Amino acid sequence: MRFYTGDESGLIKAVDIDHKVSLLEAQAKAAKKARADAKAKANAKPDEKVEIEDNVLLGVKVETFNGSISKQRHIQQMNMAEYMGDSAIFVARKNGSIEAISKATSESLYEFSEPGFADAVSVKRNGRNISQREYVGLGIGKDGFVSCTNLGNVRFQKFSADVDADADIDSDASKSSGFGLMKLPVDVVRMRAHKDKFSVFAAGGREQELSIWDAETACVGSEYAEPKCKPLFRSENVAPDWLGLRVPVWITDMQFLDGNTTNPQMVVSTRHSHIRIYDAKAQQRPVHSWEIGKNPILNIVASHVKPEIFYSDNLGNLNQLDLRTGKVIGGFKGISGAVTDIALSEDGRRVAEVGLDRFLRVYEADGMRRMLHRAYVKQRVTGVVWDWEVKDIDQDEIDRQETEEIWQSMDTLGQKEKHKREAKRKAKAIA
């Protein structure tokens, strides 16, 4: 299995894990090597130099795929998609650049820099001061991308766009040039694009309700201004609490649950420990709302196989939730830092997480939810994508091959009788 991780230092790393090597076996081998290295160092003569290689877990290979260490190239958003027919990794960086990197050659295929992204800002919103821009969402399609910042600046752009076109905001010149801009309220926390139609995206944030837009019709200006049309859907706050007080709004993440791009179903997480499901066909308020624990929920990923989600909070807890009942199915242990991103395998049977503790971990998504693999990537990781193109042999196939090997190694009944007769003849001849 292969993963690509992005970190705060601006590096993209490729992590290859041999699924046949269990974590216990890898840890045992690493411990044995550590003891051997310590013994060699202790027994070395004063003038003897002992070279000790990095103790990497068996079956785990971590190498820098692209980039050089630079805090200004901090990766804030990460995605995998196609660029002009080539499989590529897309990243949005702290310096305002959006880049497509070839998986085959690790070279840059496309790069766009947002004008004035690194300029200092001072915006007061919701009782706090925002001093810098950052990307909160990046959606990729076959011919373009849609991006969003925490200041609410949304850009819808084709890869072939002429961004220098001098288009008037009230004209369609920007649309013919292949790009369009729009402005959402300040303090957007998260934006997600629809997997089937990247121009359809959802956004929400602090004191900002969930809204779903079609960027092709909403982003028609050459300046960041109010959208030219109404959203496809805008949620409404839940009813006041039992004291009659307004419930604060603080959306942290969202996921599309179906293929409908006009009236979709969505699952949303909040900083106030809520998981909510919205149905654009039914009503503006959530059709289901559950309070899960007491910690702020920061990231969610919806399974593409079962009606469930994986969510993480600010204390390094990763859990699994059934969307039919709103009950927590189980949790994943061994995480020592806040989780920043989650990825699922193609068959939905495994889940991977990365976070501030600098580890990538792979777990069973069902059963005992054991930790299957672990890799240390040195930097604080901000994003991860699971490369589904690198196929692993399914567990059923592994069991079948092992059974075949056992049967092939066994003698047939006739061969056993023949071996016994030959052994008796040899014994008589010796006697």
Q: Tell me the DSSP string of 318-373.
A: EEEEETTT--EEEEE----S-EEEEEE-TTSSEEEEEETTSEEEEEESSTT--EEE
Q: Tokens in use for 229? A: 């049309």
**pLDDT for 34:** 76
**pLDDT for 233:** 96
**pLDDT for 423:** 74
Burial class of 43 by CB neighbour count within 10 A (0 to 12, 13 to 18, 19+): exposed
Helix locations, 147-229, DSSP H: 173-176, 215-218
**pLDDT for 278:** 97
| Boundaries of domain holding 349 | 2-430
pTM above 0.75, yes or no: yes
Count: domains in the chain? 1
**pLDDT for 349:** 93
Burial class of 376 by CB neighbour count within 10 A (0 to 12, 13 to 18, 19+): middle
CATH code assigned at 110? 2.130.10.10
DSSP annotation of 29: H
Identify the three-state secondary structure at position 35.
helix
- Residues in contact with 168: Cβ distance below 8 Å, sequence separation at least 6, in sequence order: 222
> Tens digit of pLDDT per residue, the chain (431 long)?
999 999 999 999 999 998 888 787 777 777 777 787 777 777 777 777 766 666 567 788 999 999 889 999 999 999 999 998 899 999 999 999 999 999 999 999 999 999 899 888 999 988 889 999 999 999 999 999 999 999 999 999 999 877 654 444 444 555 556 889 999 999 999 999 999 999 999 999 999 999 999 999 998 888 899 998 999 999 999 999 889 999 999 999 999 999 999 999 999 999 999 999 999 999 999 999 999 989 999 999 999 999 999 999 999 999 999 999 999 999 999 999 899 999 999 999 999 999 999 999 999 998 899 999 999 999 999 999 999 998 876 556 656 666 777 777 766 656 666 667 777 776 777 76
CA–CA dist 31, 319 (Å, integer): 30
CA–CA dist 283, 216 (Å, integer): 25
Q: Tokens in use for 232? A: 């496809």
Identify the three-state secondary structure at position 286.
coil
Bridge partners for 145 per DSSP? 140, 157
**pLDDT for 168:** 47
Nearest 5°: the CA angle 236, 301, 323 is 65
